[in-house]
Amino acid sequence: MTLHKEGKATILIAAGGTLAVYYILRQFLPEQELLHLIWLIVSIVIMVTVLQFFRKPNRTVTQNSNQILAPADGKVVVIEETVETEYFNGPRRQISIFMSPVNVHINFNPISGIVKYFKYHPGKFLVAWHPKSSTDNERSTIVVQHSNGKEVLFRQVAGAMARRLCWYVSEGQKVEQGSEFGFIKFGSRIDVYLPLDAKILCNLEDKTVGSQTVIAEW
């Protein structure tokens, strides 16, 4: 396990901030040993939290052209038939995965194929489980076309704590199933829109592991 590149600045800021406060306490309140100890403990908790959030686990991806893999670690919070209005303008099967702050926040391509569509939308920061978060929050939409001609849309959705979306794809790019396509900082969700004939293999409340859990097949 290593640390993700998106965490470098945040880790440096957290380390610098905690050290700066500790230095100020030592300089201006030298007799307050208990306060120094409390802040030292708080600093350790802060650093452990930040480091675990940006962890990058070593995973072996087993690619299968008939399967759709979970794009993120988290919990399945939505499985329903809905109308997707940004790209397909028609009915699709939606699977949404909520990522809590303790989950790995790397995002993975659920299938291999060609990126046919990408768009970033600035927006609000409603809590990730809010019904309108998929349409009103800051988000990015990616559509990948599989070699069989079918398309899967997956959308990064920022939450109340997630204030930065990161993505590494562009239209026309070839992507591999299980490879990284992005990262979301501090709590969020990913919505996946599948063809109606896709067989759903997950259930509500299921825990998923990004690039490992099979959520559907065709």
Contacts of 53 (CB under 8 A, 6+ apart): 7, 101, 102, 105, 185, 186
**Residue among 96, 133, 140, 188 flagged as catalytic:** 188
DSSP-derived secondary structure letter, 124: B
Question: Is 140 a residue of the active site?
Answer: no
Count CB neighbours of 102 within 10 A. 12
- How far apart are alpha carbons 110 and 69 in whole angstroms? 4
Three-class DSSP category at 1: coil
The distance of Cα 142 from the centroid of its chain, to the nearest Å, equals: 13
Nearest by Cα to 142 from 69, 207, 191, 89: 191
Contacts of 41 (CB under 8 A, 6+ apart): none
Which residues are known to be catalytic? 188
